[in-house]
Chain A
Amino acid sequence: DIQMTQSPSSLSASVGDKVTITCRASQDIYNHLAWYQQKPGKVPKLLIYGASTLQSGVPSRLSGSGSGTDFTLTITSLQPEDVATYYCQTYYSAPKTFGQGTKVEIK
């Protein structure tokens, strides 16, 4: 089974800061990686798929990169509305494993 290791588990940054979250797969998943944002009490929202394709309506300050085993979600200028928990997920094969999540807060 593919394991997804996400880091850090939490971070605190100031408004306007650049934020980077990483996700590592235990084996090559090509670009079969998605990123989600989840706010408390809400359904996860798809942000990025194919490792780097932005879902319609997602702000351009969010971006994804990587392929193979190493992936990154970047927020170029952190905004208050970005406070949430972010998850990576591989949909390459079953089990379609999620990372452990990264909680993003404002300093």
Chain B
Amino acid sequence: EVHLVESGGGLVQPGGSLRLSCAASGFTFSTDSMNWVRQAPGKGLEWISYISSSTYTIYYADSVKGRFTISRDNAKDSLYLQMNSLRDEDSAVYYCVRDPFTSGHWGQGTLVTVSS
């Protein structure tokens, strides 16, 4: 069974940094691309980043480009999101999602709150 478990969320001040992790199991992580999707409180879903299995291809949403960095460690079956220069509007639940999206595999999410 596929499991995706996010961690690393919490309360951070505006301008601060946070690193999210996603531990994957139940599938061959090293051969699959991955995504991060977020959802602000009471708002819709927003895709924010994609990384290919080899890390050769990486994409970001304009809203996070230049501030967030996606990475992965295939030896540890783990996905990461380094978030810098955090803003109030980055407050959200962050989900890691296996690619393709047609797999339907999402983690439970980790909550990030940006507030002073």
Contact = CB atoms under 8 A, between A and B. Distances in A.
A and B interact? yes
B61 A87 contact: no
B46 to A, nearest CB: 7
Interface in A28-66: 34, 36, 38, 43-46, 49-50, 55
Given A43-B95, A43-B106, A44-B106, A96 B46 contact: no
A interface, how many residues as a size bin? 20 to 34
A94 B102 contact: no
A55 B102 CA distance: 9
A100 B46 CA distance: 9
Contacts, number: 51
A91 B35 CA distance: 11
Chief secondary structure at chain B's binding surface: mixed
B44 A100 contact: yes
Interface string A65-90: 00000000000000000000101010
A43 B105 CA distance: 10
| Interface footprint category on B | 10 to 19
Given A1-B62, A97-B47, A98-B44, 16 more contacts: A34-B101, A36-B45, A43-B107, A43-B108, A44-B45, A46-B101, A46-B102, A49-B101, A49-B102, A55-B104, A87-B44, A91-B100, A91-B101, A91-B102, A94-B47, A94-B50
22 contacts: A38-B45, A43-B107, A45-B104, A46-B101, A49-B101, A49-B104, A85-B44, A87-B44, A91-B100, A91-B101, A94-B47, A94-B50, A95-B47, A95-B59, A95-B62, A96-B47, A96-B50, A97-B47, A98-B46, A99-B44, A100-B44, A101-B45
